[in-house]
Amino acid sequence: MSQFSNPTHSIPEISIRAPSSISTSTSNDNTKIPSHPPPPTTFLTSSPWSVTYSTLPIWRSKRNVKITYQSLPQGFLDDQVTYQTCQGGSVKTVHGVDRPVFMSGQRQDLDKHGNANSDSDAEAGSWAYHWRGKGWLMIASSKWEVLGYGSVPGDADGGGGGMGDEGQSIDWAVTYFAKTLFTPEGIDIYSRPSAKLPATLVEQIKKGLKATGDESFQRLVGDLFLVTHDEG
DSSP label at 110? B
The answer to whether the CB of 195 falls within 8 A of the CB of 232 is yes
Q: Give the highest mean pLDDT range of 24-33, 107-116, 119-128, 154-163.
A: 119-128
Q: What's the pTM?
A: 0.83
> How does 26-58 read in b/e, with b if 16+ C-beta sit within 10 Å?
ebeeebbebeeebbebebbbeeebbbbbbbbee
C-alpha 191/C-alpha 30 separation (Å) is 25
Confidence of residue 66 (pLDDT cuts 50, 70, 90): very high
pLDDT top residue among 213 and 57: 57
Q: Where are the alpha helices (DSSP H) in the chain?
A: 29-32, 41-45, 119-124, 199-210, 215-221
Number of H helices, E strands in the chain: 5, 9
The answer to whether the CB of 126 falls within 8 A of the CB of 38 is yes
Give which of 188, 209, 152, 148 is closest to 12, Cα–Cα.
Answer: 152
Residue 150 is predicted with a pLDDT of 95
Residue 200 is predicted with a pLDDT of 93
pLDDT top residue among 65 and 216: 65
> How does 214-227 read in b/e, with b if 16+ C-beta sit within 10 Å?
beebeebbeebeeb
Give which of 197, 198, 195 is closest to 232, Cα–Cα.
Answer: 195
**Percent of the chain residues past pLDDT 90, beyond the cut:** 57
In the chain, what are the domains? 29-225 (2.40.128.20)
